[in-house]
Amino acid sequence: MLTALAWKNIWRNKKRSLIVIVALAFGLWGGLFSGAVMIGMGESMVNLAIERNLSHIQIHKPFYTRDRDIKAYIPDGLEIVGAIKKIKYVRNVSGRTLIEGMAASPASTYGVQIIGINPAEAKNTTSISKQLISGSYDELSKKNRIIIGQKLAKRLNLKIRSKIVLSFEGIHESIVYNSCRVAGIYKTESAQFDGMHVFINRNDLFRALESKPIIHEIAIRLDKEKNIPQVLRILKKQYPRLSVQSWEEIAPEIAFLSDSMENFTYLFVAIILFALVFGITNTMLMSIIDRIREFGVLIAVGMKRMKIFIMIILETVFLSVTGGLSGILIAAVTIDYWSKAGIDLSIISASLESFGVSAMLYPELPLSMYFVLSIMIILAANIAALYPAVKAIHIKPAQAIRTY
What pLDDT score was predicted for residue 20?
A: 83
- 106: helix, coil or strand? coil
Q: What is the pLDDT of residues 56-94, one digit of tens each?
A: 999 999 988 777 888 889 999 999 999 999 999 999 999
Buried b (16+ CB within 10 A) or exposed e, 277-311: beebbebbeebbeebbeebbebbeeeeeeeebbbb
Residues 216 and 73: beta-carbon distance below 8 Å: yes
256-282 tens-digit pLDDT: 887 788 888 888 888 888 888 888 888
Q: How many angstroms separate the CA atoms of 175 and 177, rounded?
A: 7
Whole-number pLDDT of residue 298: 77
- Residue 189 makes CB contacts below 8 A (sequence gap 6+) with 44, 48, 52, 352, 353, 356, 357, 358, 359
- Per-residue confidence (pLDDT) for residue 355, from 0 to 100: 67
Q: Is the model's pLDDT at 303 over the cut of 70?
A: yes
Please state the rounded mean pLDDT for residues 178-203.
93
Give the CB-side neighbour count of residue 54, counting CA atoms within 13 A.
23
Beta bridge partners of 389: none
The better pLDDT of the pair 242, 309 is held by 242
N residues, the chain: 404
pLDDT of 400 over the 70 cut: no
How many other CB atoms are found less than 10 A from the CB of residue 402? 10
54: Cβ contacts below 8 Å, ≥ 6 apart: 219, 247, 250, 251
Closest CA to 138 of 159, 156, 152, 122: 122
Residue 65: its pLDDT value, please?
A: 77
What integer pLDDT is reported at residue 301 of this predicted model? Answer: 81
Mean pLDDT, range 347-368, rounded to an integer: 76
Of 131, 110, 109, nearest to 53 by C-alpha is 131
Question: Do the bridges between strand 109-117 and strand 360-361 make them parallel or antiparallel, or are there none, so unpaired?
Answer: unpaired
pLDDT at 176: 92
- Average pLDDT of the residues in 34-45: 86
pLDDT at 146 over 70: yes
In contact, 363 and 36? CB cutoff 8 Å: yes
Query: What pLDDT digit, counting tens, does each position of 95-135 carry?
Result: 999 999 999 999 899 999 999 999 999 988 999 999 999 99
Mean pLDDT over residues 377-384, rounded? 81
Largest CA distance in the chain: 104
Distance (Å) of CA 72 to CA 64, 98, 205, 217, 355 = 6, 10, 16, 10, 30
Terminal-residue alpha carbon distance, the chain: 26
- Say whether pLDDT at 403 is over 70: no
Q: At 404, is the pLDDT very low, low, confident or very high (cuts 50, 70, 90)?
A: low
For 79, half-sphere exposure in the C-beta direction (CA atoms, 13 angstrom radius) is 4
Q: What confidence score (pLDDT) does residue 222 get?
A: 95
Q: Are 296 and 397 in contact (CB under 8 A)?
A: yes
Percent over 90 (pLDDT), the chain: 40
What is the pLDDT of the chain when averaged over all its residues? 87
Quick one: 156 exposed, middle or buried, by C-beta within 10 A (0-12, 13-18, 19+)?
Answer: buried
DSSP one-letter code for 356: T
Reported confidence tier of residue 151, pLDDT bands at 50, 70, 90: very high
